[in-house]
Structure 1
Amino acid sequence: MRRRIFVLAILGAAVLLAFGSSGRAASAKLARKIIEYINTDAGSDREAVAKQAILDMKPKPEDIAEAFSGRKLKKYKQIEIEEVDVPGTEKYYSIIIPRGYNGRKKFPMVVCLHGGGSTSGKGYEGWWWVHGQLQDYLVMAPTVGQSHWWKPQEKKILLREIRHALLNFAVDPDRVCRGGFPTGGAGTGAIGRRHPHHCAALGPAAGAPRGETGADMDTRLFENLTNTYMLIQHGSKDNPEVSRLAEHRLKKIPGMKDRFKYIEYEGVGHEHPMGKKIEYKSIMDGKRKSLTQAQDAADFAKFIKKKKRTPLPKEVIFITKGPNDLESYWFDVEAATYVARVEARAEGNEIRLTTKNIAAITVYLHPKLVDMGKQVKIIIDKKEVFRGIPQKSIETALETLKRDCDASRVFLWKKRFDLTSGGEKEKPDGEKKNSG
């Protein structure tokens, strides 16, 4: 009897092992197809073919993010600096691979925006990395040609480079931080205020907050940072008035008290404040070295440690200026006028949005935002515009993954609402009717 039970147990284990191996193989194949789809041009015949190949595999919408997260990535046996060309552009970025990177474990990433006097793609030099900071991070140094990061075209290139890094390296998307010095600092703040959903923390140093056309800071945009951590650093002899104004404005925003910090270095001009002399082990040759540490680098490294993004916050404030910045955490807008505003709240399975100067809004749903197996109610400007059980869509999952390569924000349903005519302009992905 015991022998029969033992044999049955062995057979059961073999079946489970075979089933698990088959499942892993299917997931790996799906991941390869997803990567092929992401690497096609939007609207091309190749994209349609790649998408159909995925649909033919009949995955569930939830499988898309899971397969992408488990995709096979290149392994590195030692610390390296890679220079990566970005398809579709003439630009590249450098990325430092930390010790212990194996392509499976997800690492946090710091994006370093270089200043006007630095070499493109070498924003890590002279600040965090060579000063012995953040050696357990992927460190990415993008290039956009000039260092006018806040301008629309440069910003578009930067976001494309970050997307490429998220696709090709084992990055924890909820632990991506961005910093820079000095025009790199200005760009860090400008892009962060307009696209806060991409970062856990921002660290502009010696860079007065700027708008898209220069130093015309619009303090209203700081409200977009209510779910983001931010450290502003400036020297007292480096015209810090604009940074002080930013500090004053940020402190007044509800919820920012524990997320924001301002450091002003006494007697420091347009330069790195020097701290104590330290000894450290070089990441490149393993030799012991000594240097005078950049204090802003040390303060930034300390600030961002263990900071994590909330990818799907229940409360969002989003203000946008112009036609280029229209995406927030779980909705997109079409602005009717130059300055538009949305206040959004998800409570239980009810979503409420209050808008100003918005022509249309697209709401995206995710299982961590609402219970998608139950009725969802959406109210815009005190008017109920949707009630029903949302039907999960693989098309939306693929579309949102391709847009950002962000596994934490792969949405399973979307619906666009026209706010100018009072009616729905496009059909949603679909929903199950619920008369209750």
Structure 2
Amino acid sequence: MTTANASLLQAARAFLSGQSLTPAAQATLAAVTDDLDSWCERIAPPSAFQPIAPGCSGPDPIPGYPDAALYWHTPEAYHPDRPCRLFLFMHGGDTDTPNTAPLDNYIGPKAVMHPFLKNLPIIVAAPSAPPAPNGKRWNHPGAVDYLEAILDAATKKFNIDRERIIIGGHSMGGFGAYHLGQLLADKAAALWLSAGAWKLSDFRSLIGTAVYISHAKYDCAYAYRGAHKCPRHHDWCGTSFARAAHQLMLRDQVDHVYDEHDGGHGLFWEPAQMSLQRFLNWALLQKRQPFASRTALVTPRGTADPDLPERPFSRWLSIDRALPGEIAFDRINLTGPNVAWTIDELAAQSFFLDQQKRPGARLIAAIDGANHFAVTTENVAAFSIWLHPEMVDLNQPVTVNCNGRVLTAQPQPSLLTRLEGMRLRRDPASPYVAKISFDLEKP
């Protein structure tokens, strides 16, 4: 290896680790425009993975989270030389649910999901929920970083196919899936939103990622209360949350499956188990779509219950500078009795939708022709579109119709841009090799 190449690799690795580079080092990386996949393999050579015994294992520690526990289910078919699907599962429960819940209640040998997982060609990562003062433990500040730490741990321990990662959860974990799914949609092949709830959302954040909504028709019914003394409350995880999300996703053309089954809240009910099997069969067919022809970027985003984090990038969009101002989020409002002791009271539980404005910025974008994009913005001063040869011809100019204004730029692939995308997204598989940036405040 030449001294120049060694210096380039050193600079690239330093950049990916979060270090700042000198202008000269940045120029060196920007000058590399060919064979970028090969360069990335040299910068971060593929890991050698060790065999893992099939079945359940853990708890493993999670770096940076000393009070957390991470459990695994490894399929019989796993081989360290072959990339495998990953299902990142968020468990249900409440404030005082112990860290052993992922194993004891869901993926362990005697748990409800185990019969469906043991022959499935997918690795399951099941972390304990972060501590929080209420039962929405997956929705509090810091939950995004926590899930990204789980993904890092999984990809270091197993040979994970990053294009086939499923993120989902049930009950309290379903709350988290509605919330974190919007924030991490560009990392997922698909999302599973099971028996969850939400408060505010712009589900267009999910465009480009397949979604499976599963919810029990009798979630709040007295006869399906399980060990509870009274029926589950409508505002905990009533079916209205799923029905409203389904209605909004139809309106916004978000690719999804809506599975309202005839069971109760718990996954032990037979209709819920049948829905789980349908979801898993479907999940095996899904693959991440980094070049989706439609996408949206909303920041901050999530369910605002209680957190609404900033994340100014998703898929092939980034907001480089936002303007002060508010954007409208869809809001669910529950109606009818909160506790249904009779079937008539259950039938009276419903909802209506309106909107609430919160500070934020939004981009809605589509590839609507050869080297042509249509973009609408709200409270955006500057933005970038990240590109790949599967999206456009990089040898030709790209035209963007933005709010009726026609913008044109010539993309230039470079190793620096590829690395910028990997670092921004904390994703070594980020494929974008060029970007075009626009400052809307300039004439």
Common fold: TM-score over 0.5: yes
Does residue 422 (structure 1) correspond to residue 433 (structure 2)? The answer is: no
Structure 2: which amino acid aligns with 1:422? K
The answer to which structure, 1 or 2, has the higher relative contact order (CA under 8 A, 6+ apart) is 2
Q: Which residue of 2 aligns with 1:318?
A: 297
Structure 2: which amino acid aligns with 1:275? E
- The answer to whether the 8 Å contact 1:201/1:307 transfers is yes
Measured after TM superposition, the shift of residue 355 of structure 1 is: 0.9
208, 223, 246: which one aligns with 1:227: 208
Structure 1: which amino acid aligns with 2:269? M
Measured after TM superposition, the shift of residue 82 of structure 1 is: 4.9
Q: Which secondary structure does the structure 1 equivalent of 2:261 belong to?
A: strand
d(CA) in 2 for partners of 1:314 and 1:151? Answer: 32
Q: Which residue of 2 aligns with 1:195?
A: 184
d(CA) in 2 for partners of 1:310 and 1:73? Answer: 27
- The answer to whether the 8 Å contact 1:79/1:96 transfers is yes
- Cα 1:422–1:398 change in 2 (3 A) is same
d(CA) in 2 for partners of 1:104 and 1:367? Answer: 28
Structure 2: which amino acid aligns with 1:123? P
131, 154, 157: which one aligns with 2:115: 131
Structure 2: which amino acid aligns with 1:326? P
d(CA) in 1 for partners of 2:415 and 2:138? Answer: 34
- Cα 1:167–1:77 change in 2 (3 A) is closer
- The answer to whether the 8 Å contact 1:348/1:370 transfers is yes
- Cα 1:363–1:143 change in 2 (3 A) is farther
Q: Which residue of 2 aligns with 1:186?
A: 175
- Cα 1:77–1:116 change in 2 (3 A) is closer
- The answer to whether the 8 Å contact 2:30/2:414 transfers is no
Measured after TM superposition, the shift of residue 313 of structure 1 is: 0.7
Larger Rg: 1
- Cα 1:344–1:251 change in 2 (3 A) is closer
Q: Which residue of 2 aligns with 1:73?
A: 48
**CA offsets 1:224-247 (integer angstroms, 9 cap, x no match):** 223222222223142322222222
Q: Which secondary structure does the structure 2 equivalent of 1:385 belong to?
A: strand
Structure 1: which amino acid aligns with 2:413? K
d(CA) in 2 for partners of 1:254 and 1:182? Answer: 25
Q: Which residue of 1 aligns with 2:433?
A: 412
Measured after TM superposition, the shift of residue 296 of structure 1 is: 4.3
d(CA) in 2 for partners of 1:108 and 1:370? Answer: 29
d(CA) in 2 for partners of 1:72 and 1:34? Answer: 20
Measured after TM superposition, the shift of residue 375 of structure 1 is: 2.7
Q: Which secondary structure does the structure 2 equivalent of 1:391 belong to?
A: coil
Measured after TM superposition, the shift of residue 176 of structure 1 is: 0.9
383, 393, 400: which one aligns with 1:371: 393
Q: Which residue of 1 aligns with 2:266?
A: 271
Of 373-382 and 360-369, more deviation after overlay is shown by: 373-382
- The answer to whether the 8 Å contact 2:16/2:422 transfers is no
Q: Which residue of 2 aligns with 1:217?
A: 200
Q: Which residue of 1 aligns with 2:250?
A: 251
- The answer to whether the 8 Å contact 1:349/1:370 transfers is yes
- Cα 1:231–1:323 change in 2 (3 A) is closer
d(CA) in 2 for partners of 1:120 and 1:386? Answer: 53
Q: Which residue of 2 aligns with 1:261?
A: 258
Q: Which secondary structure does the structure 1 equivalent of 2:204 belong to?
A: helix
Structure 2: which amino acid aligns with 1:79? P
Measured after TM superposition, the shift of residue 377 of structure 1 is: 2.8
Q: Which secondary structure does the structure 2 equivalent of 1:126 belong to?
A: helix
d(CA) in 2 for partners of 1:318 and 1:77? Answer: 38
332, 353, 367: which one aligns with 2:375: 353
Q: TM-score, normalised by structure 2?
A: 0.70
202, 205, 208: which one aligns with 2:194: 205
Superposition map of 1:134-149 within 5 A: 135-146=120-131, 148-149=137-138
- The answer to whether the 8 Å contact 1:120/1:145 transfers is no
- Cα 1:374–1:401 change in 2 (3 A) is same
**CA offsets 1:170-215 (integer angstroms, 9 cap, x no match):** 222221111212110110111112332121221122212x2xxxxx
d(CA) in 2 for partners of 1:387 and 1:167? Answer: 38
d(CA) in 2 for partners of 1:224 and 1:327? Answer: 11
Measured after TM superposition, the shift of residue 164 of structure 1 is: 4.1
- Cα 1:339–1:233 change in 2 (3 A) is same
Superposition map of 1:55-66 within 5 A: 60-66=35-41
**CA offsets 1:305-325 (integer angstroms, 9 cap, x no match):** 211221211222333346613
Of 244-253 and 199-208, more deviation after overlay is shown by: 244-253
5+ residue gaps, structure 2, are 108-112, 221-237, 301-307, 326-358
Superposition map of 1:109-124 within 5 A: 109-117=86-94, 118-120=97-99, 123=102
**CA offsets 1:300-341 (integer angstroms, 9 cap, x no match):** 212312112212112223333466132221011244332433
315, 318, 323: which one aligns with 1:332: 318
Does residue 242 (structure 1) correspond to residue 237 (structure 2)? The answer is: no
Structure 1: which amino acid aligns with 2:311? D
- The answer to whether the 8 Å contact 2:138/2:173 transfers is yes
Q: Which secondary structure does the structure 2 equivalent of 1:148 belong to?
A: coil
d(CA) in 2 for partners of 1:245 and 1:64? Answer: 47
Does residue 154 (structure 1) correspond to residue 174 (structure 2)? The answer is: no
397, 401, 425: which one aligns with 2:418: 397
Structure 1: which amino acid aligns with 2:295? V
**How much is the aligned-residue C-alpha RMSD, in angstroms?**
3.6
- The answer to whether the 8 Å contact 2:204/2:254 transfers is no
Q: TM-score, normalised by structure 1?
A: 0.71
- The answer to whether the 8 Å contact 1:74/1:102 transfers is no
Does residue 297 (structure 1) correspond to residue 280 (structure 2)? The answer is: no
- Cα 1:367–1:66 change in 2 (3 A) is farther
Of 324-333 and 335-344, more deviation after overlay is shown by: 335-344
Q: Which secondary structure does the structure 2 equivalent of 1:409 belong to?
A: coil
- The answer to whether the 8 Å contact 1:312/1:409 transfers is no
